[in-house]
Structure 1
Amino acid sequence: MDAGGAVRLGRPGQDRARLVPLVEVTATGHGRMWSGERFIETAIGERLAYRGHETVQRGGGERTTIRLTDSETGLAAHVTLETRAGSGCLRARVRLVNEGEVPLRLESVSTLAFGGVVDGEGGLDDLTLHWADNDWLAECRWRQDGFRKRVVPLSRSAHGHEGRGCFERYSQGSWSTGRHLPVAGLTDAEGRAWLWQIESSAGWRFETGEREGAAYVALFGPDDAHHQWRHTLAPGEEFHTVPAVLVHTQTGGLDAAFGELTDYRRSIRRDHPDHRALPVIYNDYMNTLMGDPTTERLLPLIEAAGAAGAEVFVIDAGWYDDDAQGWWDAVGAWEPAPRRFPGGLPEVLGAIRAHGMTPGLWLEPEVVGVRSPLARTLPPEAFFRRGGLRVTEHGRHHLDLRHPAARAHLDGVVDRLVGEWGVGYLKLDYNINIGPGTESGSESAGAGLLGHHRAHLDWMASLLDRHPGLVLENCGSGGLRMDYAQLAVAQLQSTSDQQDLLRYPPIAAAAATAVTPEQAAVWAYPQPDHTLDEIALTLTGALLGRVHLSGFLNLMSPEQSGLVRSAISVYKELRPELGRARPFWPLGLPGWEDEWIAHGLRGGGATFLSVCRRAPENAGAATPSSTLAIPHLRGTQVRPEVLYPPTADATAEWNADAGRLTVSLPRGNTAVLLRLDPVAANA
């Protein structure tokens, strides 16, 4: 805090000019002090002054609330900063209260802003920027570049001003991760890392740039410029920002930072027995029934899935389809299709239970097809609207879960499926991007989207309150809504809809950057026309996450079935480790076209390592071996053991002095799961 009462995050004695105000706010009539693309250096942010603070100890951590006020507008900001003992995580939220006499029209509010990152001569030249592109079928594609290539030096001394730009990434519409992950970071040459995550299912944005020779980072929820978010704060009213977290580690680079972030994600989510049981899930959709289930088709799959070791069987899309024109634009009532299930859907659910599995169903609760009767019977206010018109996207309307009729409808559906039919698992999908949001009265579209998503999270939590054993899978056309607003409530996250077994490995390997391993649902879809190498490849990719088994298991040969059963047996032995292990990447985060891909989990004892070698298009470029850096085992004698596949044509040689493992896979398009156990000195 300086003499004027301004509060900034930084190290003791750090140059104040290199820091940024603790909270940055733009409001109509109160913009920025230096115009450009940056959302820092705001007039209100500069004026917010210290009014008091309090710190409380709770649950092994510390919570500090800093109170700030702007004397010109009467806006008060209550900044809550949370830390945990022994952790490098700082979680932030801001509560704004209008203590003035006139309404204030907010246009952007930072959740967390901090500067002074790697200050000093030459420091920015050593910074590397990391961010993740995301798309349907191509999730978690991490990229990196030198900070100075994205934030160029501009000879500030010659101009007297900072630049007007920054490096930014942001969401667009209602797919929170449809373009990028709300996770990014900076690393330096010394192994230090700054990693951040924004927890929003509606809009979000982060920016990083240069301020007085140091890097800064600012994290936001929705804003006017990118999300059509405006929020009028009347006197006495308050607004809460979305949460965000900063992870800072002194050594270990990105691996160490993602380890801290993984532990943090576990600490903020709703407790649920699924996080400890981690049952094997069979889902009939991917590369199998593809939304066309019937009793006749399901019963053989149910028997085969149970025999393979599955513990949950999910009937995916199509179970409600009894429409000659197709189900896509007719969904909403969620009643079973009689022609698909002549004996009734409960008969099939009973067969699932008879084979020792929990029955599950697919549901897309937030949409109503334009041809559904519900599109006419629910009140207009129960749907997303803009300009007074109901929004339509890809043959669907969108429910606004702030409306009691919309919520009552969905409560009735779930209570019937779970309470009456005994369904224990719901896959909640979301396959349209509805755009900026909904306008109810005078609210902006972005404010409507944020309001709906907060109501959606409350609705999901209420389902778990009423049905404590129910498991909810979060799916957004694969991984297009993969954020920790959702994942603090839902038990699992779909990582992709990718159907090509050779395109899935980089997604599976990088999934732990977006979601904890025990929440990361990874498809494994072996088929009777696959080679044994292909079956082992698709199964191996899922073994360090949550196995989402699929495929026509009922048509496999005994040898193929044995390979599937072996994978599930290995998974059940190692899964007790998943919920407390941290991820790491011994070849770095995977590239989309990489030949060699590796990711691992390290816990209290053993280290598990999944290694995949894809055959390059140019066979002459093939490399049958790869050397992986595993620094946490350097200096330790280790015994590599192949866990899967049981007949892997693979070798692994350990160099304890260098902390490196050389893995050989003579054939392309193969994979192996290894366990690395330290060997006792007297062994």
Structure 2
Amino acid sequence: MTRCSVGSRSVSYVLARDDGLRTDVLALDGEKGWSVLKAGPVFTVVVDGLTINGESDGLEVENVTTIGRGRGVVEEITRCGYARESLTVGIEWHVVRYPDLPLIETWVSLTNRGPHPVTVERLDSLGLTIPAGDYELLSFTSAWGKEFDGVREPLKDSRTIGTLAGRSSQGTHPWFGLVRADGSVLCGAIAWSGNWIVRLEEVTKVSGTADAAEERRAGAGYVLTGGLHDHGFTKNLRPGETVDAPPVVLALGSDGNLDTTSIYLARAAREYWAPRNDLADRLPVEWNHWWTYEDHRIDEATFKANADIAAELGVEVCTLDAGWFGPDDSTSHWPEVRGDWDLVNAARFPGGIRALADYVHERGMRFGLWCEIEALGPKAALLTRRPDFPALRDGAPLGYVCLANPAAWQWAYETLDRLSRELGADWIKLDFNLDPGLGCNRTDHGHGVGDGLFEHYLGYYRLLDRVREEHPDLVLENCSSGGLRVDLGILRHTHLTFLSDPDWPEHGLQLLWGATTMLPPNQLLHWGFSEWLSTHPQQTFDPRDIQLAPHQLDYYRRIAMLGATGFSLGLPELQAWVRDRLAAQIRTYQQLVRPFVRTADVHRLTGSPRRFGGGDRWAAVQYAQPEGSEHLVLVFRLSGGEPSQEIRLHALDPDQLYSVRWQDGERDETRSGAELMDGGLALTLPEEGSEILVIRESRRS
């Protein structure tokens, strides 16, 4: 049995080992479970064409080991052997529990115990039977500029979600939710950055059979399986070799509220999964040159002029995005020469990148640098110099460097090491702007024809870990065409995750609402209504517009304060009042907002706004410190919203008195927790208006 508690609540995960291996219980204590005395596959692996799960003939449970992983984390490993005909394998089922969190992490490991190589064709880290009932399935579709588009639909018949694009969030984000009619919530997230799948297969009820497994299926609704996508995947295992499947995390709630499971996942990420260092923990305010200047309008003088103003505004990181590398040609275009990170475009930056980093450091800021270390442009000199590096599929180039190749991995490490050690980068924005699909299938990289993408991502994870080990003060930012590789796998290897390239207001709010279902806000980086050089129908912000009102500027910037924050504006041309307002907003974020973003639980007080005028047209987010004494609420009225709205707060003590401070209204009031949760706060705002409320415990009522 695996059991972990949160306050007076606990979650139980119980495996039955007497008749094969199956899940008997996954439930919050004292409540109806998600799988109670029903057949559960626990895992599914396919080896040499044979499907093996917890109920397969020939599977023997050998032993169970419990290992303490430190800080109260416990891993339970159930070891099994399987022997049939010429196939002999070992299977380990791993379950990790975390103290004070009602969630579990599971994965399967497979070892070839036989004398001959075997071929693995499927590795499911998740196997669970869902009782019959009425369910809603929650998921998020995703595309460039359309990340975290929520879908909520009745679960009818069998259903499959996943991606084969080669990036975890291209098409669908690697997260799902099941909400039962009684309010029980099961959320899952796949900790993998490549191709993944979740299957919900409807079970036909049976009766009158002597088969014990079939009898247990009576009353079952769905079998839930998944993890690594099996389409196009094969892996050859030599005798004695082991392969680990990507983990899946499951979180439980009982109140029908996604905030509950979201908070559990966020706490686990902050405490146990996400890497940390002082600069990342500070959540520094970032300025990035990209949208205002792109590559053909940026040069040394322009960057320095912006850095001068950024320092005056209180910006803490200045990032040089694409356009700094490649041949000495002011007309070169960044996608074509990706991979030539050893070359600095001297036509744009005659003094070199280190001198630019020193210039930023002299002004009290940190220096950020963009790099798409995996990508390989068609005109890159690296293509000619190292023809063994490119990922190929059936001989055709895929546009990236295969990091399963040890030589390419070493080159990538030395490159990132040099960007920090020699060029002075304190922060590296790691982008990835292509879909590798099923990945590389050339056989001279150390992988087989069917596991090139799998091994590439394992290599990428190792690369990130090695860079962090050698440069513990360096911040690594995860980006992939904006937010097309957002998952619990890469979260464990990078400090921050960029949510999307576009950043117009309602888009930013929709992203925050969706991303906080599985990630903590302190890991979510998004900018605030940047000034775009290129054309985009929604990116219309002009900071020099004479019609721009102060409350609008506050609204635009505050939306980006809901996580880690930054912006891309041409700073030297700003009006004086806009500069002053930006400086004041930066101070507000640094002094008031980001202490909550770092540590507080997120409660979404409204439904999600939707792009293009859809969804809720008021948005309110509450940050509640875990001890309950302090709360911060940010409220926004979007275009089309009613003039007034009542906002009901969460997570307060109904008998406690709270002081409420309206930052813009500059007024205070005292209300009981019951009043704030039941009656709420009435707000009247203009369109594109916002308010910040600070709620603190006062005296007992």
Query: C-alpha separation between the residues in 1 aligned to 2:577 and 2:680?
Result: 31
Query: C-alpha separation between the residues in 2 aligned to 1:354 and 1:384?
Result: 41
SS at match of 2:368: strand
Match of 1:22 in 2: 42
Match of 1:88 in 2: 102
Query: C-alpha separation between the residues in 1 aligned to 2:377 and 2:667?
Result: 51
Match of 1:268 in 2: 273
Aligned letter for 1:258? S
- Alignment match of 2:79 (pick from 41, 47, 67): 67
Pick which of 260-269 and 652-661 moved more. Answer: 652-661
Deviation sequence 1:562-617 (CA, Å, 0-9, x none): 2211221111123233232111211134444221222232113322222222213x
Match of 2:248 in 1: 244
1:600 aligns to 2:622 (yes or no): yes
After TM superposition, the structure 1 = structure 2 runs for residues 363-512 of structure 1, keeping only pairs within 5 Å, are 363-380=371-388, 382-387=389-394, 389-392=395-398, 397-441=399-443, 446-512=450-516
Match of 1:181 in 2: 173
Deviation sequence 1:357-388 (CA, Å, 0-9, x none): 011111111112111111011032x221222x
Distance change in 2, residues 1:11/1:399 (3 Å): closer
- Alignment match of 2:230 (pick from 224, 234, 241): 224
- Alignment match of 1:557 (pick from 575, 598, 601): 575
Aligned letter for 1:176? S
Match of 1:285 in 2: 290
Mapped contact 1:283–1:313 kept (Cα < 8 A): yes
Mapped contact 1:330–1:368 kept (Cα < 8 A): yes
Query: C-alpha separation between the residues in 1 aligned to 2:223 and 2:278?
Result: 37
Match of 1:513 in 2: 517
Mapped contact 1:501–1:538 kept (Cα < 8 A): yes
1:104 aligns to 2:118 (yes or no): yes
- Alignment match of 2:586 (pick from 564, 568, 574): 568
CA offset at residue 652 of structure 1? 12
Deviation sequence 1:215-271 (CA, Å, 0-9, x none): 44635333333xx10123333222110111111133462111100010111212223
SS at match of 2:466: helix
Deviation sequence 1:178-199 (CA, Å, 0-9, x none): 1111111112344432111111
Mapped contact 1:292–1:318 kept (Cα < 8 A): no
SS at match of 2:92: strand
1:200 aligns to 2:216 (yes or no): no
Deviation sequence 1:308-327 (CA, Å, 0-9, x none): 11111101111225444523
Identity among equivalent positions (%) equals 23
TM-score, structure 1 length as denominator? Answer: 0.87
Query: C-alpha separation between the residues in 1 aligned to 2:645 and 2:448?
Result: 53
Match of 2:636 in 1: 612
1:308 aligns to 2:310 (yes or no): no
Distance change in 2, residues 1:291/1:432 (3 Å): farther
Aligned letter for 2:133? L
Query: C-alpha separation between the residues in 1 aligned to 2:528 and 2:337?
Result: 30
1:675 aligns to 2:694 (yes or no): yes
Deviation sequence 1:144-171 (CA, Å, 0-9, x none): 1233xx33xxxxxxxxxxxxxx222112
Pick which of 455-464 and 649-658 moved more. Answer: 649-658
1:10 aligns to 2:25 (yes or no): yes
Mapped contact 2:142–2:170 kept (Cα < 8 A): yes
What CA RMSD, in Å, does the superposition of the two structures yield over aligned residues? 2.8
CA offset at residue 450 of structure 1? 0.8
Unaligned ranges ≥5, structure 2: 1-15, 204-217, 531-542
Query: C-alpha separation between the residues in 1 aligned to 2:365 and 2:78?
Result: 50
CA offset at residue 177 of structure 1? 0.6
Mapped contact 2:144–2:484 kept (Cα < 8 A): yes
CA offset at residue 28 of structure 1? 4.2
Mapped contact 1:30–1:44 kept (Cα < 8 A): no
Query: Runs ≥4 in structure 1, deviation > 6 angstroms?
Result: 12-17, 647-655
1:664 aligns to 2:687 (yes or no): no
SS at match of 1:94: strand
CA offset at residue 11 of structure 1? 5.7
Query: C-alpha separation between the residues in 1 aligned to 2:275 and 2:332?
Result: 40
Distance change in 2, residues 1:22/1:357 (3 Å): same
Mapped contact 1:279–1:311 kept (Cα < 8 A): yes
Match of 2:322 in 1: 317
CA offset at residue 539 of structure 1? 0.7
Mapped contact 1:598–1:612 kept (Cα < 8 A): yes
Mapped contact 1:113–1:216 kept (Cα < 8 A): no
Distance change in 2, residues 1:54/1:194 (3 Å): same
CA offset at residue 457 of structure 1? 1.0
Query: C-alpha separation between the residues in 1 aligned to 2:604 and 2:319?
Result: 31
1:531 aligns to 2:533 (yes or no): no
1:358 aligns to 2:373 (yes or no): no
Match of 2:133 in 1: 124
1:167 aligns to 2:153 (yes or no): no
Match of 1:77 in 2: 91
Distance change in 2, residues 1:498/1:519 (3 Å): same
Distance change in 2, residues 1:10/1:94 (3 Å): same
CA offset at residue 176 of structure 1? 1.2
Match of 2:333 in 1: 326
Unaligned ranges ≥5, structure 1: 33-41, 152-165, 617-621
Match of 1:339 in 2: 347
Match of 2:66 in 1: 55
CA offset at residue 448 of structure 1? 0.6
TM-score, structure 2 length as denominator? Answer: 0.84
- Alignment match of 2:219 (pick from 213, 220, 245): 213
Query: C-alpha separation between the residues in 2 aligned to 1:114 and 1:512?
Result: 25
Mapped contact 1:596–1:613 kept (Cα < 8 A): yes
Query: C-alpha separation between the residues in 1 aligned to 2:73 and 2:151?
Result: 33
Match of 1:159 in 2: none
Aligned letter for 1:571? Y
Match of 1:160 in 2: none
SS at match of 2:261: helix
1:640 aligns to 2:660 (yes or no): yes
CA offset at residue 504 of structure 1? 2.4
Distance change in 2, residues 1:128/1:105 (3 Å): same
Match of 2:6 in 1: none
Mapped contact 1:653–1:661 kept (Cα < 8 A): no
